[in-house]
């Protein structure tokens, strides 16, 4: 069994590392369920035994509160991996399927097999969860894995690089650090599946690179996830749940509410309720709150503050470049053709768009690219059903935000420009497998009717049974 060099700073070492991982995959290293089980157990140990170090890195990169870091980047991964461990044998077991008369005497089954060597490219906003959950699915499916964390969340990337080498089988699981040059070099290698989470612009680059080798891709992108607030909604509850989903991780969440389409009859009440929720969560000065994070970089800070002029500030608006702090902010009087309504915000700014009816809100949503998530708040089942049936989104939470992605029985992913492919739970394992069809025939009976010469009598029989 070969081992891997520590350094991945040159293209030669990246190519060599991928080649060694592939050689070990071909040797059968990753196939046994026991190997997969040991790697998944190691992932859980790594997170639990080094939680304090991970938390410090998350705070360094994102100012992430300890509770947020635990829920979203530690406990989430541990929960997913434990579910995979519990079901590892069942999810990898061949399954019998029916066989038509024309193929008799035969038996048919689907045999799950790994794809090969998988590349997982993760973003900076949830740098542990969005790297390890897809990697865990690939491992559970029997693949070798190359992980590429984001260089933007550099502190977390450094901790992961050191600990992945320590806890996992380095012959078949590797981590490559670096920025655009290293990612570009990785994409020049041949993989059997590429899993990318990030923005659509880079997603197109990833897909173009994958096309050179006809490599299948999963793209977890983003988009402008809308919220529809009907006039029947419980306004106070809606405001709290929207505020939580929006300002978690300072709005740097791919499924964060991007804008709110609120019935104008309740717009004023809704904004007041949002203000109350922000004060309840973060106090009168969120900059001093231990529950509120920071913008990841100066570049993202500048991009977000440049959007503040796209509407009138109803709540918040304060910002501090030295602290990379932007207050929870609500904008009103937002032009539909403004930049903030054209780009995914990915920050703590929430535009409010009043509408005359749910039908107007549905039209607003359907005239734009399909979002990664959609949220609807209403006490009327008919309204909820209308929104769900007439809109298209990667996923939906009714009378809540974000929570559809916490259910491992619901595949998480986008549609159209918000992505392709879904994962979590069993879907994570299925994503990285080929379910190989196998038909086995007996030899004791060999009906001659299937063979030439094809007589008129045989043709009449074919017409009856086929």
CATH number at residue 323: 3.40.309.10
Residues 36 and 183 in one domain: yes
Beta strands in 23-123 (DSSP E): 95-97, 106-114, 117-121
CB 199 within 8 A of CB 419: no
Residues 176 and 297 in one domain: no
Active-site amino acid positions = 220, 254
Residues 406 and 343 in one domain: yes
Which domain CATH number covers 104? 3.40.605.10
Residues 204 and 268 in one domain: no
Number of domains the chain is built from = 2
Residues 155 and 28 in one domain: yes
Residues 212 and 236 in one domain: no
User: What is the Cα–Cα distance from 114 to 31, expressed in whole angstroms?
Assistant: 8
Torsion of CA 136, 73, 412, 232, to 10 degrees: 160
Residue 377 lies in a domain: yes
Per-residue pLDDT for the chain (466 aa), expressed as one digit of tens each?
333 344 334 455 999 999 999 999 999 999 999 999 999 999 999 999 999 999 999 999 999 999 999 999 999 999 999 999 999 999 999 999 999 988 888 999 999 999 999 999 999 999 999 999 999 999 999 999 999 999 999 999 999 999 999 999 999 999 999 999 999 999 999 999 999 999 999 999 999 999 999 999 999 999 999 999 999 999 999 999 999 999 999 999 999 999 999 999 999 999 999 999 999 999 999 999 999 999 999 999 999 999 999 999 999 999 999 999 999 999 999 999 999 999 999 999 999 999 999 999 999 999 999 999 999 999 999 999 999 999 999 999 999 999 999 999 999 999 999 999 999 999 999 999 999 999 999 888 888 888 999 999 989 988 888 8
Residues 170 and 301 in one domain: no
Residues 213 and 321 in one domain: no
| Number of residues in the chain | 466
pTM: 0.93
Residues 386 and 261 in one domain: yes
Residue 425 lies in a domain: yes
If residue 406 lies in a helix (H) or strand (E), which one and from where to where? none
Residue 442 lies in a domain: no
Range of the domain at 204: 11-221+418-437
Residues 262 and 345 in one domain: yes
Neighbours of 379 (CB within 10 A): 12
Q: Is the peptide bond before 50 cis (omega within 30 degrees of 0)?
A: no
Residue 282 lies in a domain: yes
């Amino acid at each position: 069994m070969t081992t891997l060099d520590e350094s991945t700073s040159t293209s030669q070492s990246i190519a060599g590392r991928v080649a060694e991982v592939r050689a070990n995959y071909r040797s059968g290293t990753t196939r046994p369920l026991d190997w997969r089980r040991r790697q998944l157990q190691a992932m859980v140990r790594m997170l639990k035994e080094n939680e304090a170090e991970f938390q410090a890195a998350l705070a360094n990169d994102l100012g992430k509160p300890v509770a947020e870091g635990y829920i979203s980047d530690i406990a989430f991964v541990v929960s997913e991996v434990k579910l995979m461990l519990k079901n590892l044998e069942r999810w990898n077991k061949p399954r019998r399927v029916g066989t038509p008369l024309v193929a008799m005497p035969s038996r048919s089954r689907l045999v799950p097999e790994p794809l090969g060597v998988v590349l997982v490219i993760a973003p900076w906003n949830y740098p542990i969860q969005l790297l390890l959950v897809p990697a865990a699915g690939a491992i559970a499916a029997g693949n070798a894995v190359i992980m590429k964390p984001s260089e933007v969340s550099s502190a977390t990337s450094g901790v992961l690089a050191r600990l992945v080498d320590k806890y996992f089988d380095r012959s078949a699981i590797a981590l490559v650090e670096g920025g655009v040059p290293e990612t570009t070099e990785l994409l020049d290698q041949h993989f059997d599946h590429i899993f990318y989470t990030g923005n659509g612009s880079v997603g197109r680059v990833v897909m173009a690179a994958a096309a050179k080798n006809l490599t299948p891709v999963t793209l977890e992108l983003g988009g402008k996830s809308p919220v529809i607030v009907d006039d029947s909604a419980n306004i106070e509850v809606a405001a709290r749940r929207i505020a939580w989903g929006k300002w978690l991780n300072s709005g740097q969440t791919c499924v964060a509410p991007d804008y709110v389409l609120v019935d104008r009859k309740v717009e004023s009440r809704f904004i007041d309720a949002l203000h109350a929720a922000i004060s309840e969560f973060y106090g009168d000065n969120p900059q001093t709150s231990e529950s509120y994070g920071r913008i990841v970089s100066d570049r993202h800070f500048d991009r977000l503050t440049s959007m503040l002029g796209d509407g009138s500030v109803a709540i918040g608006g304060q910002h501090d470049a030295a602290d990379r702090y932007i207050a929870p902010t609500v904008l009103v009087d937002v032009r539909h053709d403004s930049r903030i309504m054209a780009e995914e915000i990915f920050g703590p700014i929430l535009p409010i768009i009043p509408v005359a009816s749910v039908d107007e809100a549905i039209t607003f949503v359907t005239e734009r690219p399909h979002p990664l998530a959609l949220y609807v708040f209403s006490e009327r089942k008919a309204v909820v059903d209308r929104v769900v049936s007439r809109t298209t989104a990667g996923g939906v939470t009714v009378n809540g935000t974000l929570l559809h992605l916490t259910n491992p029985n619901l595949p998480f992913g986008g549609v159209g420009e918000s992505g392709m492919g879904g994962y979590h739970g069993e879907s994570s394992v299925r994503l990285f497998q080929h379910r190989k069809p196998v038909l086995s025939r007996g030899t004791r009976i060999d009906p001659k009717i299937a063979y030439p010469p094809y007589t008129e009598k045989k043709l009449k029989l074919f017409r009856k049974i086929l």
